[in-house]
Amino acid sequence: MPDTFTYPEDFQEMLIAAAIRRSECDFFLRLLKPQFFTDSIGTACWHAVLQHYQETGEMPTFAVLSARVSERLESQGRDASAGAEYVKRLRAVDTTRNIDYVCNAVESFARRQAMLVAIRKSIESYKEGKEPDGELVAEFEAAMALKREENDFGIIFNHDSDGVIDRLSNRAVGVRTGFPQFDRIWRRGWEPGWLIVPLAPPKRFKSLFCSQLALNMAGPSVGADILYYPCEISADLTAARMFSNLTGMTQHDAFAGSIEEYKTLVREKIAENCTGRLVMKDFPSKSVTIADIRAHAKMVIRELGINPKAIYIDYAETILPSNTKISEHQQQANVYVEARALGGELGACVVMPDRCTKEAVGMPVPSMKSFQGAFQKAGAVDAAIGLCSTDDEYAQNILRSFIFLNRHGAAYQHFTGRVDPEYARISIGDAIDTPISELFETSRGGRSQRSETRALRDDDAEAVRASANVSAARVESALRGRR
């Protein structure tokens, strides 16, 4: 890179000298990385500073730093005396008059150098004929987000109670689900930064459940803007399911008649039932990271001016981990952590369905051990909702919902429900009062679940009416369609 894009080496030496002399300025340690220094000895020197701090919790003295840098250079087959000479220059740097300037400049230096590092990697990828990956996108975003944040002590409990209450009372209320049964549990809605995981076996209505939720949230009773990322099926198919939900027409019937009439009907139903804006973008499975989704979401927010309250990522296993150098279990857990961070950054809840383990497939309800791939996933989740059907229930389109994790309220709440695959509709009904201990005993192979199954066998009309997210007109339409 041209020299005009770098800070002078004597300025970089002043940064290191100031960091050692002002050990209370821990933001130096957080912001500065060895690759930011253009002098190779400076890079080795900052490596030594970080290593010493990690091992001891203290900044090294100049004498200790000299020894560490010399050892590092010698291990690399380089001239150790060059390290001692570099530290000698650092010791001679007068930072007394310039310390305030240096402290104020470290943020812009770090951001600029981080951007240069990302640009160099991008150029190298281009020369090698590689497409930029999610990890590289994340580096650019991290460079732009570098911030000093000095003197942020956090909450001083003895003095800051009023501020805490003000922030909580003024905090934006989360997005309601449109299912009254859920909205009574989460009275403020699903809040920004929450990760919600509907859990089910393969082909057990995870995507259908999410499309119903998205329509509820975009509907007149909630009116929220929604971002929806299907990464298993296409955006067209996801939208087509929503069309069936809104119109009460199956895809077979829709395309057997007049296409122009169907287009008109869909537009009318969207105008009636979607007051929030719903934007869908599909990606091939295992081709996109959370960083890629973040980049697209920010572009949509910027260009379309929407304010998404929920981001759907359908589903977790289709997302490419951003770091593939760790164990597979840790990779899968990191997808959860990154998704939750995405919601916090963009001020939205994230709904990301996932598969349960094969052991959980035959169980009446899941538990925190039922996440596919990594038990650590349970620690990142704000709410997990099991979409439950025994084989007998599945044959009858019965779909129970069981809240088995809830960071912000009561867990183990259990509801009847029904799914109508032809019309892409899911309803949630009454609470099930079966003792939880009995449910988990059944999960371990205890007594039969037949009594609960019989209690769920309502007729179709009653099951549809139980779903308060469907208006009376749409109930009648659904019933007519089924006749």
pLDDT digits 0-9 by tens, 251-269: 999 999 999 999 999 999 9
SS3 for 237? helix
* Contact criterion met (CB below 8 Å) for 191 and 349: yes
DSSP E strand boundaries for 171-307? 195-200, 225-230, 278-280
Report d(CA 291, CA 275) in Å as an integer: 29
pLDDT at 454 (0 to 100):
37
Report d(CA 265, CA 279) in Å as an integer: 20
pLDDT digits 0-9 by tens, 370-428: 998 888 899 899 999 999 998 899 999 999 999 999 999 889 999 999 999 999 999 99
Which amino acid appears at position 164 of this protein? V
The answer to whether residue 472 scores a pLDDT higher than 50 is: no
Which is higher by pLDDT, 155 or 110?
110
pLDDT digits 0-9 by tens, 335-383: 999 999 999 999 999 999 999 998 888 788 999 999 988 888 998 999 9
pLDDT digits 0-9 by tens, 142-166: 777 666 554 556 777 877 888 888 8
Q: Where are the domains of the chain?
A: 3-145, 180-482
The stretch 269-273 carries a mean pLDDT of: 96
Report d(CA 113, CA 51) in Å as an integer: 21
The answer to whether residue 475 scores a pLDDT higher than 60 is: no
pLDDT at 483 (0 to 100):
38
How many residues belong to the chain?
A: 483
Per-residue tokens: 413: 């709440």
**Cβ-based neighbours of 455, under 8 Å, separated by 6 or more:** 416, 432
% of the chain residues with pLDDT over 70: 84
pLDDT at 247 (0 to 100):
96
pLDDT at 432 (0 to 100):
94
Q: Which of 383, 455, 449, 454 is nearest to 412 (CA)?
A: 383
End-to-end CA distance of the chain: give it in Å, rounded: 71
CATH of domain 3-145: 1.10.860.10
Report d(CA 404, CA 96) in Å as an integer: 59
Work out the angle at residue 385's Cα, subtended by the Cα atoms of residues 382 and 388, and round it to the nearest 5 degrees: 165
Which amino acid appears at position 335 of this protein? V
pLDDT at 72 (0 to 100):
92
Which amino acid appears at position 46 of this protein? W
The answer to whether residue 95 scores a pLDDT higher than 80 is: no
Percentages helix, strand, coil for the chain (3-state, rounded to 5) are: 55, 10, 35
Q: Which of 374, 386, 311 is nearest to 346 (CA)?
A: 311
Reported as a pLDDT band with limits 50, 70 and 90, residue 478 is very low
Per-residue tokens: 440: 């988990």
- Write the burial class of residue 271 (CB in 10 Å: 0-12 exposed, 13-18 middle, 19+ buried): exposed
pLDDT digits 0-9 by tens, 294-310: 989 999 999 999 999 99
The answer to whether residue 479 scores a pLDDT higher than 80 is: no
The answer to whether residue 477 scores a pLDDT higher than 80 is: no
Q: What is 140-195 written as a DSSP string? A: HHHHHH----TT-----TTT-HHHHHHHHHHSPP-B--S-HHHHHHSTT-BPTT-E
CATH of domain 180-482: 3.40.50.300
pLDDT at 133 (0 to 100):
64
Q: Which of 93, 63, 66, 60 is nearest to 82 (CA)?
A: 66
**Cβ-based neighbours of 100, under 8 Å, separated by 6 or more:** none
* Least trusted range by pLDDT, from 5-9, 91-95, 151-155, 288-292: 151-155
Report d(CA 392, CA 121) in Å as an integer: 55
The answer to whether residue 462 scores a pLDDT higher than 70 is: no
The stretch 198-202 carries a mean pLDDT of: 94
Per-residue tokens: 437: 């201990």
* Contact criterion met (CB below 8 Å) for 328 and 373: yes
pTM (predicted TM-score):
0.66
Q: Which of 225, 431, 422 is nearest to 311 (CA)?
A: 225
Q: Which of 190, 195, 188 is nearest to 169 (CA)?
A: 188
Per-residue tokens: 268: 């009318």
The answer to whether residue 124 scores a pLDDT higher than 50 is: yes
